[in-house]
Amino acid sequence: MSIQQTTDTYNRPLRDLRISVTDRCNFRCPYCMPAEIFHEKFEFMKRDKVLTFEEITRLTRLIVRQGAVKLRLTGGEPLVRQQIETLVKMLAEIEGVEDMAMTTNAYLLPKHAQALKEAGLQRITVSLDSLDNEIFRKMNGGKADVSQVLEGIESAKSAGFTNIKINAVVQRGVNDHTIVDMARWAREEGHTVRFIEYMDVGTMNGWKLDEIVPAKEIIERIGEVFPMERLRRKQNSDTALRYHYTDGAGEIGVIASVTMPFCGNCTRMRLSPEGQIYTCLFAVEGTDLKTPMRDGATDDELETIIHNTWGNRTDRYSEQRTSSTNDRDKIEMYYIGG
C-alpha cells in the first residue's frame, strides 16, 4: 500500500484516527450526555444514517494511506454497537495500522473482552471518574456502580490486555477530592490513570471555567502523598503530561487541554458515526465523506477530500480559547468521542 504523509498548514502530520462508531451510550454523564437532554425519548441517529462496518473500514484504509498509523474506537459507548468485534477484526487487517485501542466505560466489557482481544484490539482505556460509588453514580447519571466497571476491567485483564489505562475527568466540587484515592488504587493495581481537565466540549454540558482543576493543582495534590517526577512524552503528539512515582510504583498522566494546550503537536483526525471527518475535538463543522462515498465516489476521489481537509487545517482551539469561545456551537463529545 502506498502511504502519503499528509501535513496541515502548521506542518502537523496526520498520525492518529479516532473512530466514533455510535452516538449512543448506556451512561448519562452530565459533562457529556446530560440526562435532562438525552432522555428516553431522545432520537439518536437512525441505522441507515450510520456508517456500516464496510464503510468505516474503507474510509479508515484511505485515511491510513494519508499517514494515520494509530486507531482508537470511541463513541458514545463503542460496546453498544452490535458485533463490534467484527469491525475490530476488519480494521486490524488494514495494512499500515500499527496500533488499535478502544475507550469504553467498561460496563459491557465482561461480554466482549475476550472476543475483542482475539479480533486484534491491542489496548483498552476505561473511563472511571471516581472510586467513590455515590460520586461515580452522580457522574454517570445513575447508570452503574463502581463495582461493575471494576468487573469490566478485571475481564479485560483476564482476556490478556495489559497496562489498562484509566481516564478520570476532574471537576471541581464534584470529584476533585477523590483524585488521590484514584491514584493510590491505580498504583496498587498497576494501571496508568490519566486525569483530564474538565473541558468545554460541545455546548450542552454547562461548562464553567471555575469548575476546572488545573493540571498543576492535580499534580501538586497527588505529589504531596506520592512524590513524582516529570517524564518526557514518548511522542510529541501524546496528549498526556507524564509523571512517574519516585518509588518506582508506576506513573500517571494529566491531560491539560485547557491550562496547558498542546494544539501545536496535534496529529488527530476524527471520524463520526455518520461519516464526517473532523480535524479538532472543538470543531464547529466537519467534512462529509458518506454522501460522496454512497454516491459512488472512487477511492482516489475520497482520498483527495481527506488530503485536502487535513492539508488546509488551521485548528488551534485550545490555544485560542477565551471566555467567549464557549458560545460557539461545537460538536458534542458523545457524537465524536474524546
Full DSSP string of 217-237? HHHHHHHTTS-EEEE--SSTT
What 3-state class would DSSP assign to 122? coil
pLDDT at 334 over 70: no
Domain of 238, CATH number, reads 3.20.20.70
b/e 37-64 (16+ beta carbons within 10 angstroms → b): ebeeeeebeeeeebbebeebbbbbbbbb
**C-alpha–C-alpha distance, residues 43 and 46, integer Å:** 8
The Cα 234–Cα 90 span in angstroms is 28
Residue 9 within a domain: no
Band (pLDDT 50/70/90 cuts) for residue 317 is: low
Q: What is the mean pLDDT of the segment spanning 116-127?
A: 98
Q: Residue 178: which domain range?
A: 16-336
Q: Kindly state whether residue 280 falls inside one of the protein's structural domains.
A: yes
Q: Is 256 exposed, middle or buried (0-12, 13-18, 19+ CB in 10 A)?
A: buried
Domain-located, residue 11: no
As a whole-number percent, the residues of the chain with pLDDT over 70 amount to 90
CA distance 70 to 14: 10
**pLDDT at residue 134 in the model:** 98
At which residue does the C-alpha cell 493495581 appear?
189
Selection from 262, 254, 257, 255 nearest residue 223 by Cα:
254
Please indicate, yes or no, if residue 196 is contained in any of the structural domains. Answer: yes
CA atoms of 21 and 337, how far apart (whole Å): 9
For the stretch 202-216, pLDDT in tens is 445 555 777 899 999
- Output the pLDDT for position 11: 94
Q: How does pLDDT run across 216-267, given as a tens digit for each residue? A: 999 999 999 999 999 987 777 778 899 999 999 999 999 988 888 768 789 9
> Quick one: which of 179, 290, 277 has its CA closest to 226?
179
Within a domain: residue 231? yes
Whether 10 is in a domain gets the answer no
Q: Where are the beta strands (DSSP E) in 106-191?
A: 123-127, 165-170
Residue 217 phi, psi dihedral angles, 5° rounding:
-70, -40
The grid cell for 6 is 499528509
Does residue 88 belong to any structural domain of this protein? yes
Q: Give the residue, 268 or 237, on which the prediction is more confident.
A: 268
Average pLDDT score over residue span 46-55: 96
Structural domain includes residue 174: yes
CA distance 332 to 334: 6
**If DSSP codes are grouped into helix, strand and coil, which group holds residue 246?**
coil
Written as nine digits, the cell of 217 is 493543582
CA distance 39 to 195: 28
Give Cβ neighbours of residue 282 (< 8 Å, ≥ 6 apart). Answer: 200, 201, 315, 317, 318, 328, 330, 331
Residue 32's pLDDT band, with cuts at 50, 70 and 90, is confident
- pLDDT exceeds 70 at position 48: yes
Domains contained in the chain, number: 1
Contact 72, 103 (CB under 8 A): yes
